[in-house]
Chains A and B, each alone.
Chain A
Amino acid sequence: MDHAAATPMDERVRKAMEPYWLKDFGNPNALYKEGLVARNAIESARAEVARVFGARPKEIIFTNGGTESDNLAILGIAGAVAGGIGKLTSLRTDEEGNPTEAKFPNSSLKPAARNFPLPRLHIITSKFEHHAVLSACKKLEKEGFEVTYLDVGKDGVVDPEEVKRALRPETILVSIMYANNEIGAIQPIREIAKVIRNFKKKGGFSGEAKPNFSRFTLPRSGAGSDASQNFALPRLNTAFPYFHTDACQAPGYLDLNIQKLGVDLMTINGSKIYGPKGTGVLFVKDGVKLQPILYGGEQEKKLRPGTENVAGIVGLAAALRLADEEREKESTRLSKLRDYFIGRLTMEIPKVVLNGHSAERLPNNVNVSILDVEGESVVLYLDEAGVACSTGSACTSENLEPSHVLMAIGRPHSYAHGAMRFSLGRSTTKKNIDYVMKVLPGIIEKLRMFSPVKIS
């Protein structure tokens, strides 16, 4: 009941990987036969992943997982635009020490603009992204970038109109997850992509969001004196902003076609899809320039140096293919089980509240707040009964903060601490759910028996 955390490797995936441990162990960068066998395996895997995405093989970068893909997308774009993160030569700050302007020496912006303080390059994301995205954005904020963290509403869905309002001429990247890992809420990626496309068509003006001219300290150029022309000087080329989506929770449930989605970058993680841990993909649309976060050899177009994880890459591709093939059937099956489970939870246990949108929801995600009890206690009692699941409670985290996702959808602390996530998977049957419903009501009753909390 915790498939969103980890999935067992599919036997078919293990079989696909098998030859590359002992038999075909060659370094794919070698010129001799053994090397070519490994190289072919990687390139077949790349073609397979590209096919599932509706992309071209050269747009597929293999990484070591979702976190690395997210980091490479965000830090990579920022680095490529700014000419190197951490290389700001001047950073103006306000009285409180917050950066107000940054200067990027090796920026890809027009040479004329380089010598002047630029408006702070801007990134848009949401409040309930995975920490792989949020922490990368936090790092960029410290380096002089400005980040807008969009609200997600009480259902946990980003409003494309909010994206529209947040877009600015200096926005370089929008990163919104495809489906939330805690509450399963599916995000309107296509609609957001459309908003970004329209913004680009209009040359970086959404019509609503007036650029903040006062920020700009550019000199008035001789030719042409209207404000928009001056303003045009620091504008990024029309390819910006790029659109990245963390799609780690999506394979097997949602359409991964990048053309339909309209994204420029997309993250996938192998260990969430019955594939090997330590494997990931970043789709990078042709023409999108990234600065690497690792330096070394020329593997993966220099974006991911280091000898390729051949068996892992083969396994990831096999897992993705299987997820894609079984998507419709498995989604239908799990949606029914999910609704059956949510129905029983809310009907049979008093004071249970569903977290996240009831319809726009991953087929495998159940997340409820059980009031008057605390999540860690429930997890441990369930563990004792043989059921594994996770909680939004602070007690399981190192920082002792409750789930940022539940706080983002406006749940009070008392709800976040009592939040339970059950994520179903290929092995989950109605019988498993019936078993949970056999043990859980008793556990809740017991914990409530000595709870001083009575939320009305």
Chain B
Amino acid sequence: MADVDKWIYSAVVKDHFMHPRGFLMGEPKEGEFDAHGEVGSFACGDIIKLWIKIDKKTERITDVKWQTWGCATAIASASMFSEMLTENEGMNIDEAMKITPKDIAEKLGGLPARKFHCSILADKAFKKAVEAYRLRS
């Protein structure tokens, strides 16, 4: 935990926060994604919106994009989560549904306890998006 001396979060969090991956700029184009989910509120200080594109035959996730208003860990966890979903040609939906906040936090090299519940919202936004996708197809 040597990097804590210099920065309050891990080096991985910092990297994903300073150089976020997989976010969406502006509004999505018509048909660019199959569904989206949104969680959080102004009151709790974090809002995340997440879009998914699914291969209907294989149920693999072919594209994930996110937008986050929130603190460093909220941004970093969305960035990390989108990477996890799209690794190796995209994860299968059922498999992706099993990802927990703890899994994301571990990938990020740990998070302060008080940040754990409030700032990892990406998995919840994803579950909402899948729900919306399943309702439609």
Q: Chain A interface (Cβ within 8 Å of chain B)?
A: 372-374, 376-377, 380-381, 384, 393-395, 398, 400, 402, 412-414, 417, 449-453
Contact = CB atoms under 8 A, between A and B. Distances in A.
B101 interface: no
Nearest to A397: B114
B110 interface: no
Interface string B90-113: 000000000000000000000000
A395 B71 contact: yes
The SS class assigned to the A binding surface is loop
Contacts of A384: 18
A394 B67 contact: no
A452 B72 contact: no
19 contacts: A374-B70, A376-B72, A380-B17, A380-B72, A384-B18, A393-B71, A395-B45, A398-B114, A400-B44, A400-B118, A449-B23, A449-B25, A450-B23, A450-B25, A450-B66, A450-B67, A451-B69, A452-B47, A452-B67
- Point out which of B17, B42, B115 has the most chain A C-beta atoms below 10 A from its C-beta: B42
Contacts of A374: 45-46, 69-71, 74
B45 A394 contact: yes
A394 B42 CA distance: 11
Contacts of A380: 17, 72
Contacts of A402: 45
B77 interface: no
B47 A413 contact: no
A374 B67 CA distance: 13
Contact of A377 (B42, B43, B67, B70): B70
Contacts of B53: none
Contacts of B17: 377, 380
A121 B70 CA distance: 43
A450 B70 contact: no
Nearest to A372: B69
Nearest to B73: A395
B60 interface: no
Q: Which 4 A-B pairs have the closest CB atoms?
A: A395-B71, A450-B23, A452-B67, A413-B42
A453 B38 CA distance: 11
Contact of A400 (B18, B41, B45): B45
A386 B46 CA distance: 25
Nearest to A400: B118
B122 interface: no
B68 A451 contact: yes
A384 B14 CA distance: 10
B118 A373 contact: no
B12 interface: no
Contacts of A393: 45, 71
Contact of A452 (B68, B114, B118): B68
B49 A452 contact: yes
A377 B66 CA distance: 17
A401 to B, nearest CB: 9
Given A394-B45, A402-B45, A451 B71 contact: no
B124 to A, nearest CB: 14
